[in-house]
């Protein structure tokens, strides 16, 4: 087992987070085939995919991991935004079909906004962890110097 837990409550948290993530991911995959290209709800599969990671990120409680997750998702969003505004003549054949798919089925703002949400959460969590660590270190240092 990849994640060792000590109590039944912790085991329950692992199960709930895992099942929630799995349900969101499966729903995302199903909706990706149901929602047609260009539909106003085309952002929903990507949103569910990304939100599917949040229960696991909450379970692991690593601010730096959430921060990196958010930065990378935002970068993907910016890439999608750039692809949307590149001239059509730059893409021919299969590359043009791939670009059309990316533009029609993957909303850049979904990736950017959910990424920024994760960045904020990760930055706050990391700052809190560092502050607590520094306070403990300072308390330990002042306790040993007396």
Split at pLDDT 50, 70, 90, the class of 4 is low
Is the separation of the CB atoms in 119 and 71 below 8 Å? yes
> How large is the average pLDDT for residues 30-39?
92
Place of tokens 């990424």: 115
Give CA 123 to chain center in angstroms. Answer: 14
Residues of the chain with pLDDT > 70, as a percent, come to 94
Model confidence, pTM:
0.83
Q: What is residue 7's predicted lDDT score, i.e. its pLDDT?
A: 75
pLDDT tens column, 39-56: 999 999 999 999 999 999
**What secondary structure does DSSP assign to 72-100, as a single string?**
HHHHHHHHHHHHHHS-GGG--THHHHHHH
CA distance 79 to 71: 12
């Amino acid at each position: 087992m990849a994640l060792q837990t000590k109590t039944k409550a912790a085991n329950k948290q692992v199960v709930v987070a895992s099942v929630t993530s799995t349900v969101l991911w499966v729903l995302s995959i199903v909706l990706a085939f149901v929602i047609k290209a260009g539909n106003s709800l085309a952002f929903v599969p990507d949103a569910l995919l990304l939100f599917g990671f949040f229960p696991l990120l909450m379970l692991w409680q690593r601010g730096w991991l959430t921060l990196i997750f958010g930065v990378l998702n935002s970068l993907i969003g910016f890439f999608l935004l750039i692809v949307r505004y590149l001239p059509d003549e730059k893409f021919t054949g299969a590359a043009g079909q791939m670009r059309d798919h990316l533009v029609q089925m993957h909303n850049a703002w979904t990736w950017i906004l959910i990424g920024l949400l994760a960045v904020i959460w990760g930055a706050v969590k990391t700052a809190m962890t560092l502050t607590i660590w520094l306070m403990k270190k300072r308390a330990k240092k002042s306790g040993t110097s007396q």
